Chain A
Amino acid sequence: MHIHAYEKLWLAASILLILLLIGSVTYGAVGPGIAMVSDTEPAIDAGGLDEDERFSEPRVEQVGENEYEAYVVAYQFGFEPNPIVVPENSRVTFYVTSRDVIHGFEVAGTNANTMVVPGEVSEITVETDEPQEYGLLCNEYCGAGHHVMEGKVHVVSQAEFEEQQSGGDGE
């Protein structure tokens, strides 16, 4: 079969493009460690969040050196806790659930973004850098007040975080 030289050229170019796409996604997974929203959390009773040890009292908790877990409840129309205060330069895992309808959990302007489904727990782990204030919003239409459903994620210094924790919990 005869193939024109130009035809070969752009066939090669498209194969190169495919390799570049697959290559960069592989690099993202291996290098910076990009991951998906985890689906390993077991289902919970959306109506019984009051009795759930994690979600009856939405909070941020230290679970290891520089490792924190944030238990967040989304509801019509807000997030709890608000603001979610996490320390700088740490690894924070958000466990987010809803007690009513489907919501979204999007830390505005960042890659931290997941759907929040009643009865399910969405788990995303992120690494924080410098102290900063982020907006938090719902990106799934959840009712008449959807447009006012927002929260805040505050990344604060270690000292400020400890002060807040000891002040807030009475520890």
Chain B
Amino acid sequence: MGQNETAHPSADEVGGGDEEFDPIGTLTLIGIYFAILVLSWLFIYYIEFLGRDLVVVG
């Protein structure tokens, strides 16, 4: 949201610029989903999968 708080609409944005549109909620949600995805991947691959016994090596 920050970058637009003090911005004045310039001439080329009069026709419907999207800089005023800052879906901070969506960004936050995507951030949370992203963190869940990364953490679960790290857990599933490095801890659950590689941490199990009898890893197939050939």
Chain B contacts of A17 at CB under 8 A? 34, 37-38, 41
Chain A contacts of B18 at CB under 8 A? 2, 4
Known: A2-B18, A4-B18. A109 touches B52 (CB 8 A): yes
Whether B56 and A111, one on each chain, are in contact in the complex, defined by CB atoms closer than 8 angstroms, is yes
Q: How far is the CA of A91 from the CA of B26 in the complex (A)?
A: 51
Count of B residues near A, CB < 8 Å?
A: 24
What 1/0 flags go to A12-44 for Cβ under 8 Å of B?
A: 010001001100100010001111111000000
B45 → chain A closest CB, angstroms = 5
A94 → chain B closest CB, angstroms = 10
Q: From the candidates A6, A13, A125, name the one contacting B56 in the complex (CB within 8 A).
A: A125
**With an 8 A cutoff between CB atoms, is A148 at the interface?**
no
Whether B53 and A132, one on each chain, are in contact in the complex, defined by CB atoms closer than 8 angstroms, is yes
Chain A contacts of B19 at CB under 8 A? 4
Whether A110 and B34, one on each chain, are in contact in the complex, defined by CB atoms closer than 8 angstroms, is no
Which residue on B lies nearest to A9, using beta carbons? Answer: B27
Chain A contacts of B57 at CB under 8 A? 32-35, 91, 125-127
